[in-house]
């Protein structure tokens, strides 16, 4: 997307003051042409507002496994600690120092649903099945993070958001929680 400079400045100022949720391709929403006055903003804008510029993805023939890191954060309330989504995996490392990662994920080759198995007695953990471990691709990257560089606003970025991902109740819950949190409202334990 390419905006005229006044439109770009209005959006830049708005995001500097207001709460927002940035979804998937917002990490690379501008494509100002080489040599234009705003060319540097192709990387500077997402770095400033989302904590990282666009760094690519693991291909359209992939999916991802998701791991909650900050289970105590309100946005993570009610989510399974691990789940699979059909999103192709975006690269978002490294995040800026002002970001707090809430969930990480890793790409999987193919679109088959991943399975987890329970391991170890009453202190069990859920691990990715051996077959799915063979499908892992690339390194883990943040999937959901807050951007904490401006005190007066709440901002959250997620690369989860492909249409089919919303078939998973965890993704629906993630978005409900994110909206409430960004607006400064209490996130209920259940809906």
Read off the pLDDT of residues 59-87 as tens digits, 9 standing for 90 and up: 656 667 778 888 899 999 999 888 878 77
| 117 occurs within a structural domain | yes
| 6 occurs within a structural domain | no
* 21 and 156 Cβ atoms separated by less than 8 Å: yes
| 174 occurs within a structural domain | yes
Question: Residues near 22 by Cβ (< 8 Å), separated by ≥ 6?
Answer: 49, 50, 155, 156, 157, 158
| 17 occurs within a structural domain | no
- Nearest CA among 153, 176, 158, 175 for reference residue 14: 153
* 116 and 82 Cβ atoms separated by less than 8 Å: yes
How many domains are contained in the chain? Answer: 1
Distances (CA, A) of 69 to 31, 39, 80, 103, 124: 32, 35, 11, 5, 17
Least confident of 12-26, 64-78, 88-102, 116-130: 116-130
What is the pLDDT averaged over residues 2-8?
A: 88
- Nearest CA among 164, 145, 163, 165 for reference residue 155: 145
* Structural domain span for residue 81: 24-29+36-182
| 92 occurs within a structural domain | yes
In the prediction, which pLDDT does 158 show?
Answer: 93
Q: What is the CB neighbour count within 10 angstroms for residue 179?
A: 15
| 94 occurs within a structural domain | yes
* 114 and 128 Cβ atoms separated by less than 8 Å: yes
Least confident of 4-13, 91-100, 153-162: 91-100
Which CATH number do you get for residue 97?
3.40.50.880
- Structure confidence by residue, pLDDT tens digits, 135-166: 666 677 888 999 987 777 899 999 888 888 89
Cis, peptide link before residue 94, omega less than 30° from 0: yes
| 11 occurs within a structural domain | no
Give pTM, 2 decimals. Answer: 0.82
| 1 occurs within a structural domain | no
């Amino acid at each position: 997307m390419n905006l005229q400079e006044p439109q770009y400045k209005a959006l830049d100022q708005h995001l500097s003051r207001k709460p927002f949720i940035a979804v998937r391709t917002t990490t690379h929403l501008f494509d100002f042409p080489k040599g234009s006055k705003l060319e540097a903003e192709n990387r500077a804008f997402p770095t400033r507002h989302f904590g990282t510029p666009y760094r690519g993805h693991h291909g359209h023939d992939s999916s991802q496994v998701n791991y909650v890191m900050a289970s105590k954060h309100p946005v993570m309330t009610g989510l399974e600690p691990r789940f699979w989504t059909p999103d192709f995996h975006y690269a978002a490392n490294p995040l800026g120092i002002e970001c707090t990662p809430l969930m990480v994920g890793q790409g999987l080759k193919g679109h088959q649903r991943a399975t987890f198995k329970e391991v170890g007695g009453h202190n069990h953990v859920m691990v990715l099945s051996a077959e799915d471990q063979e499908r892992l691709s690339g390194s883990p990257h943040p999937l959901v993070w807050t951007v904490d560089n401006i005190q007066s606003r709440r901002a959250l970025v997620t690369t989860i958001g492909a249409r089919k991902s919303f078939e998973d109740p965890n993704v629906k819950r993630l978005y409900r929680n994110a909206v409430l949190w960004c607006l400064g409202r209490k996130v209920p334990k259940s809906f």
